[in-house]
Every structure is written in C-alpha cells, then in structure tokens.
Amino acid sequence: MENVKTAGKPDYKSIPIIGVIGGVGPYAGLDFVRKIFNNTRAVRDQDHLNCMLVSCPSIVNDRTNFLLAPNDEEENPAYGMYESARRLHMADVKVACVACNTAHADRIFSHFLAMVAETLPGLQIVNMLETCALFAKKSLGIEKLGLLATKGTHKSRVYHEYFKEKDGFILMEPDEAGQENLHEAIFNKEFGIKAHSDVIKPQAKELIKGEIKKLAGQGAKGIILGCTELPLAVQNSDSSVPLIDPGFIAARKLIELVAPEKLLPYK
C-alpha cells in the first residue's frame, strides 16, 4: 500500500537545480541570479526554475591579486571556488557557473575544472567567456569589440583565448591609464563598486562611461563588460554601442540547458 505520507509527493531529486558560484563579488552573484529570474518564462512562483546560490566570499581569494602577484604568493582562488562547487554538488546541482570573469583566467579556472572533474561527477560547469564568444559571433555578429575588465583579466589575456583573431575577432582594450581608471571604479574603497555595490557612486559610473566612450570612439562596435561588477553600474543607455554582459549570456545558457522551453526570447 502506498504510504499516505508520501502519496502525491514529487520526486524532488528529479527536479533540476541551477547552481551559481557567487561571492566573487557578493553583489555580482546576486545580480547573476536576478538575470536567471529575468530571463525565465514565469507568471507565478512555481514557474521559476530552482536556483541555488553559494556565496562564500571568505573562502575565495581575490582573483586579481592572485593574478598580479609574482610566483603564486597568493592562494589560488580555485580552492574556494571548488569548495563552493562541492556544496552545490552535495545539493544535487547538475549545472553551474562561476559568476566572475577574472576567475576564468587559465591559472585559476583550469585548476578549478580539474578538481571538479576529478571529484564532483555529473556537475557541468558553464564557461562564461566561451559562452559569450559564441553568442557574440553567432547571435550578435559583432567582431570588433572593446573589453572593460579588471587588471587581472587584462593581464592574463583570458578573453583573447576565446575571442581569437583567427575567428575574426578584433579585441580592443583600454590603455594603461584606462585600465587604472577601471581598477579604481571597481576597487577604490571610497567610491568603487565593491565598496558601494548597493548604491553605485557617480564617480565610479563616470570612470566606466569614460572608458566606454573612448573605445567606441576608437571603432569598437560593442563593449564587453568583462567584470561582473560593471553591469551593476552601467546599462546600454550609457553607451553609443551595445554593451555585452557575459553574465547575462551565461544565465540564459543555464536556463537553456535546464529548461529550454522556459527561456524568454533574447531582447
């Protein structure tokens, strides 16, 4: 006889969960989850997809500091990212994404992927940068792109691994002064986005908008917001060319993998 306590109870393990490795930074992780919600076809609570955010910033070392430090003096952020992934895996998450562009640099991301592959079977990690490059090429048709990112991302040249010249891409980056402006807009303790993520300071916005204007003036047909904090500060209305948010594209990819019928049309 069927146990009355479980009669009609759904098989919760069969219901997919999207995982987000956040805390890198914390508000960027929240924004990533919001992008999942905003791109899901839903008219009631139950229509939304199951989503689990692990935000443990205390265990994930700063990605830019690690990439800029000589001789691996800093702890590799991959270890903290892996611990977050392990917690998602324990909750039966099957597909996840790291909500940080700089974390995709090879010195970090390859180590992270190796640990996941070895010990977390069945967990698929969506590569935010790879997904962005495919989308820019196939869906947007934009090949001459400006890149705004952290110093660590620029130094590692991780975007060049995915936006390759042989594939037709021309990737434009700010000069040294421009990269310093972006660094201040993100990390400055008085007005930077990380210090004031809830209400973005005007000075941070103006520094970012200034670098967008420079790259657009140099011929960029679109601007990649290559740091997950940047979309917190600027929108398409702040630019004369399209702004490309890798987090937005990755969020849509996660929905497509889990429940393609719930993916809203791209706007």
pLDDT, one tens digit per residue, over 6-43 is: 666 777 667 799 999 999 999 999 999 999 999 999 99
Model pLDDT, residue 74 = 86
Domains 12-127+249-262 and 129-246 share a fold: yes
pLDDT, one tens digit per residue, over 152-193 is: 999 999 999 999 999 999 999 999 999 999 999 999 999 999
Angle between helices 106-119 and 78-90 (to 10 degrees): 30
Does the N-terminal peptide bond of residue 247 adopt cis geometry, omega within 30 degrees of 0?
no
CATH 2.40.110.10 is held by the domain 129-246: no
Q: Is the pLDDT of residue 225 over 80?
A: yes
Q: Is the pLDDT of residue 1 over 60?
A: no
Model pLDDT, residue 122 = 96
Return the closest-CA partner of residue 253 out of 49, 109, 65: 49
Between residues 71 and 224, which one has the greater pLDDT?
224
Q: Is the pLDDT of residue 5 over 70?
A: no
Q: Is the pLDDT of residue 88 over 60?
A: yes
Mean pLDDT rounded to a whole number for the chain: 94
Query: 95-111 burial, b for 16+ CB within 10 Å, e for fewer?
Result: bbbbbbbbbbbebbbeb
- Rounded to an integer, the average pLDDT of 104-122 is 97
Give the separation between CA 129 and CA 119, rounded to whole angstroms.
Answer: 24
Q: Is the pLDDT of residue 217 over 50?
A: yes
Instruction: Map out the domains of the chain as residue ranges.
Output: 12-127+249-262, 129-246
Given a contact cutoff of 8 angstroms between Cβ atoms, the answer to whether 56 and 80 are in contact is yes
Model pLDDT, residue 83 = 98
pLDDT, one tens digit per residue, over 240-253 is: 999 999 999 999 99
Model pLDDT, residue 267 = 79
Task: Name the percent of the chain lying above pLDDT 70.
Answer: 96
CATH topology for 12-127+249-262?
Rossmann fold (3.40.50)
Q: Is 31 left (phi over 0), alpha (psi -120 to 50) or beta?
A: alpha
Q: Is the pLDDT of residue 231 over 90?
A: yes
- List the structure tokens of 60: 């994930």
Give the separation between CA 197 and CA 57, rounded to whole angstroms.
Answer: 15
The dihedrals phi and psi of 6, each to the nearest 5 degrees, come to: -115, 5
Model pLDDT, residue 7 = 61
Task: Name the percent of the chain lying above pLDDT 90.
Answer: 88
- Give whole-number Cα distances, 237 to 183, 240, 241, 243, in Å: 22, 8, 9, 9
Q: Is the pLDDT of residue 213 over 70?
A: yes
Given a contact cutoff of 8 angstroms between Cβ atoms, the answer to whether 111 and 76 are in contact is yes
Model pLDDT, residue 138 = 85
